[in-house]
Amino acid sequence: MLQYIVELFHKLVAAFLGKPKVLCIGPNTLDELLVQFDVPPKEKTVQDIIRDYQIKETMAGLEVDMLKMDPALAYKGHQSWFNENNVLSLHQMPCVVRPEVIYCSYGKS
């Protein structure tokens, strides 16, 4: 019932106000859109490269600052080794690591 009332309201508003005006901005046909994709990308200037690097450095610094406020992450690590009788020994041990350490060492061995 409510859906019927909403549809009726939309029809009345559309009949009262008329069709919305369509602004012709940007590619409107498939041919215009394909021409837009064939345009080569703009070459970056030295200032653009410097600005991109500064933004990357700033965002990385903000990320580290935000991670410093988070609590440490705790998990159970596993240690395995062969003893003198060639028997595999497995042990679990609690480990704690700071989140910013994980972020700063990602991709590094």
65 shares its domain with 75: no
63 shares its domain with 98: no
**How many structural domains compose the chain?**
2
What does the pLDDT read at residue 29?
78
The confidence band for 59, taking pLDDT boundaries of 50, 70 and 90, is very high
Q: Note whether residue 92 is domain-resident.
A: yes
Structural domain containing residue 76:
71-109
82 shares its domain with 107: yes
Q: Note whether residue 44 is domain-resident.
A: yes
Q: Note whether residue 13 is domain-resident.
A: no
How is residue 86 written in tokens? 């060639």
Q: Read off the pLDDT of residues 6-35 as tens digits, 9 standing for 90 and up.
A: 888 877 777 777 666 656 676 677 777 777
30 shares its domain with 41: yes
What does the pLDDT read at residue 41?
73
Cα–Cα distance between 24 and 41 in angstroms, integer?
A: 24
The better pLDDT of the pair 57, 1 is held by 57
- The conformation of residue 106, written as its DSSP 8-state character, comes to T
61 shares its domain with 79: no
88 shares its domain with 64: no
31 shares its domain with 54: yes
Only one residue has tokens 């965002």, namely 59
Q: Note whether residue 38 is domain-resident.
A: yes
| Residue 92: partners with Cβ closer than 8 Å, 6 or more residues away | 76, 77, 78, 79
57 shares its domain with 79: no
Nearest to 97 by CA among 87, 105, 109, 85: 105
